[in-house]
Amino acid sequence: MTVRPLTPLLLAAALAGGLPIAWAASPEAPAASAAEVGAPLFQFAGKPFVHRWSHAGQHEFTPPTQPDLSRWQDMVTVQLYDKVSNDDELALVANGVLMAYQKAGQVIRANFLEAAPGRPAEHLVVAMLHDKGVREMVFARFRLTPGGGQALVYSHRVYGREPDDAAGAWFRANAIATEFASRLRASS
């Protein structure tokens, strides 16, 4: 069986809840042409998202109205970790991201759910990242699947000279719904 290059993207979209898993995993899925013309690939929290960039297992999506990757407001990033094969390795990846977020801003919450029957282990990191003129609220959720580790990261950016008030208001209004929307769907 030949797997087309966008098949991982379709899987990523399915993980975000936008596509039926059977279609996403199909090597015959026609979404390559839809992604090429900028048609929405999936919806996250009620917003359509279009594939913008991929490299080394990382796939980035923004809404159709936000094509500029240097100044987006909403982004979904799906990271596939094919060399991660157990809960300990997944924890190393999640903890590495947690440490990077601690250096770049403020971690709001970090949670770990142990694996249970029918549910893999899961890590969540919620953070506000700081840079000059921008605040980025990040919701990163990691889990293990038979194909390796996966992360679904939703990020929302606020730009301006003093973005803290607007970022804080967005976070208070959207944090719970965004965290709920970021739950990874089962891939089997």
Q: Are 163 and 134 in contact (CB under 8 A)?
A: yes
| Strands 148-159 and 105-113, bridge-based pairing | unpaired
pLDDT at 162: 83
Q: Please, which pLDDT band fits residue 42 given cuts at 50, 70 and 90?
A: confident
Q: Are 59 and 77 in contact (CB under 8 A)?
A: yes
Kindly report, residue by residue over 64-120, the tens digit of the pLDDT. 999 999 999 999 999 999 999 999 999 999 999 999 999 999 999 999 988 888 888
User: Does residue 38 carry a pLDDT above 80?
Assistant: no
Who wins on pLDDT, 25 or 77?
77
* Predicted TM-score (pTM) of this structure: 0.76
Kindly report, residue by residue over 110-166, the tens digit of the pLDDT. 999 888 888 888 999 999 999 988 999 999 999 988 889 999 999 999 898 888 888
Q: Please, which pLDDT band fits residue 60 given cuts at 50, 70 and 90?
A: very high
Nearest to 18 by CA among 129, 155, 188, 182: 182
Count Cα atoms within 13 angstroms, Cβ side, for 179. Answer: 15
DSSP letters spanning 63-126: -TT---TTS-SEEEEEEEETT--SHHHHHHHHHHHHHHHHHHEEEEEEEEE--BTTB--EEEEE
Scan for tokens 């379709």, then name that residue: 10
